[in-house]
A and B are shown apart, each in its own frame.
Chain A
Amino acid sequence: MFDLKGYGPALAEGALVTIELAFFSLALALTLGLLGASAKLSGNRLLVGFATTYTTLIRGVPDLVMMLLFYYGGQVAVNMLSDYLWEAYDIDFFFQFDPFISGVVTIGLIFGAYMTETFRGAFLAVDSGQIEAARAYGFTRWHTFRRVMIPQMLRHALPGIGNNWQVLLKTTALVSIIGLTDMVRVAEEAAKAERMPFHFFIPVAAVYLGLTAASELFIKWLDKRANAGVVQGN
């Protein structure tokens, strides 16, 4: 069907890197989002302030700039730390800050901020009577959170998580700019070498399209399951 000029296996490997990157970033984003939302709703001034600063800062800065900052800055910071450790304690510590890690950290941090807002809204959508009932049964705060809030919040959070995931998936393309050999990077190199841009970029675009379409179906299925016990009002 397609003659990929021998770049086929590299492209397939790149596609795997893209998917891995997306999943690791999603895991980090969900964790940060849950922590951020809990902090925002905790009522503790320090935590609220911290979480608000985090979401505001992240949403004001382009993803690419953050990625460049973490990639180039991360290495400099590691170098400084390793110099310090060597001089002060004679510890030989070095760590190469690779594009994959910077990608996961950046994308996770960015979408953690968006997930924070999603989860915050979802927590607020849980009926307060449910929380009162849990308290009345003598649940501790932690138990109320884990057994009552989380399961009921997920239903409200799912559409937001789905949207964020779709955007996240497309953001992974940026990591090719800092040198990770994902499928975009492979396609770019192939397109330059063979002087055939359409030939390589259109299959990559199709893979992204396939991934977003598959995710859409999966999210719809999850949504249906999560709302199984809910009587629709309309």
Chain B
Amino acid sequence: MPEFMTEWLSQNDIFTAMTLMEYWDGLVTTVHLVFLSLVIGLVVAVPLAILRTVRNPFVSGPIWLFTYLFRGTPLLIQLYIIYYGVAQIPGIQETFWWVVFREPFYPALLAFTLNTAAYTTEIIRGAIVSTPHGEIEAAKAYGMNWFLRMRRIVLPSAARRAVQAYSNEVIFMLHASAIASVVTIVDLTGAARNIYSRFYAPFDAFIFVALCYMALTFILVFVFRKLENHLLRHQKPVSS
């Protein structure tokens, strides 16, 4: 280790084992929150995207409205509405749901899930709509019914077209999750804010946490690049 590093480490009062543990717990909360909301959001978004392409306006209309509302307003407002709003639902305080929603984690999870579901629905819908017509014709000519066609032809081919936009959405969600700290969740940003206010050391607290987020972002970028290479293998030039 270079000398200035050892000197800095021996003089520093901020990055002790205690604060590093706080950051670690924050990291676990962030990853937990983002991972759950992305998985649930994706599971919700696939059927919504399929229904959004249905011609019947009574089916696709409400889904359009859902995505329009959630994409047209800031996530922070959605979080506030859910976080402060659930307590106001008459009678909820006597039910089982109050035990769940009294913790800030679950309102945040709900807000993030709905938000990412709205964006993901539009991404997948775009990919489904742009399926080459010939692929669908060929599937029909083979006598595949709607369900089989969806499962074997449309969705796999849509997944290839959606993966790039979806990777952006995942990174966007990771960054957006920082606002969980405003509803008293101690995620990575929450940990940084606590440590900042304890030591009044904004640069140490926030630059460290920025580096943590950056590392997470680069890991995601790397994973998605691998996934893209895997899914788009057939498009590689023959020579390489």
Contact between B81 and A173, CB atoms less than 8 A apart: no
What's the dominant secondary structure at chain A's contact region? helix
Residue of B nearest to A210 (CB): B72
A62 located at the interface, meaning its Cβ lies under 8 Å from any Cβ of chain B in the complex: yes
Contact between B217 and A76, CB atoms less than 8 A apart: no
A61-B210, A65-B178, A65-B192 given; A173·B76 CB < 8 A: yes
Interface size class of A (residues with CB under 8 A): 35 or more
B36 located at the interface, meaning its Cβ lies under 8 Å from any Cβ of chain A in the complex: no
Nearest Cβ distance between residue A160 and chain B, in whole angstroms? 13
A49 located at the interface, meaning its Cβ lies under 8 Å from any Cβ of chain B in the complex: no
Nearest Cβ distance between residue B190 and chain A, in whole angstroms? 11
Q: Which candidate, B10-18, B42-50, B155-163, B201-209, is the interface stretch facing chain A?
A: B201-209
Which residues of A lie under 8 Å from residue B179 when comparing CB positions?
A: 64, 174, 177
Nearest Cβ distance between residue B240 and chain A, in whole angstroms? 23
A62-B178, A65-B209 given; A204·B77 CB < 8 A: yes
Which residues of B lie under 8 Å from residue A202 when comparing CB positions?
A: 81
Contact between A177 and B182, CB atoms less than 8 A apart: yes
B146 located at the interface, meaning its Cβ lies under 8 Å from any Cβ of chain A in the complex: no
B85 located at the interface, meaning its Cβ lies under 8 Å from any Cβ of chain A in the complex: yes
Question: CA separation between A62 and B76, bound complex, in Å?
Answer: 14
Q: Which of B180-226 contact A (CB under 8 A)?
A: 181-182, 189, 192-193, 196, 200, 202-203, 206-207, 209-210, 213-214, 217-218
Nearest Cβ distance between residue A52 and chain B, in whole angstroms? 14
Question: CA separation between A176 and B189, bound complex, in Å?
Answer: 16
Contact between A170 and B73, CB atoms less than 8 A apart: yes
Which residues of B lie under 8 Å from residue A34 when comparing CB positions?
A: none
Which residues of B lie under 8 Å from residue A170 when comparing CB positions?
A: 73-75
Which residues of A lie under 8 Å from residue B209 when comparing CB positions?
A: 65
Contact of A62 among B73, B88, B176, B200 (CB under 8 A): B176
Q: Which of A80-98 contact B (CB under 8 A)?
A: none
List chain A positions with a Cβ less than 8 A from chain B.
Answer: 57, 59-66, 68-69, 72-73, 76, 170-174, 176-177, 184, 187-188, 191-192, 195-198, 201-202, 204-205, 208-209, 212-213
Given contacts A73-B202, A76-B200, A195-B88, 10 further A-B contacts (CB under 8 A): A61-B210, A61-B213, A62-B213, A73-B203, A174-B76, A177-B182, A187-B80, A205-B77, A208-B73, A209-B73
List chain B positions with a Cβ less than 8 A from chain A.
Answer: 69, 72-78, 80-81, 84-85, 88, 171, 174-179, 181-182, 189, 192-193, 196, 200, 202-203, 206-207, 209-210, 213-214, 217-218
9 contacts between A and B (CB under 8 A): A61-B214, A173-B77, A174-B179, A191-B80, A192-B84, A195-B88, A198-B81, A205-B78, A208-B73
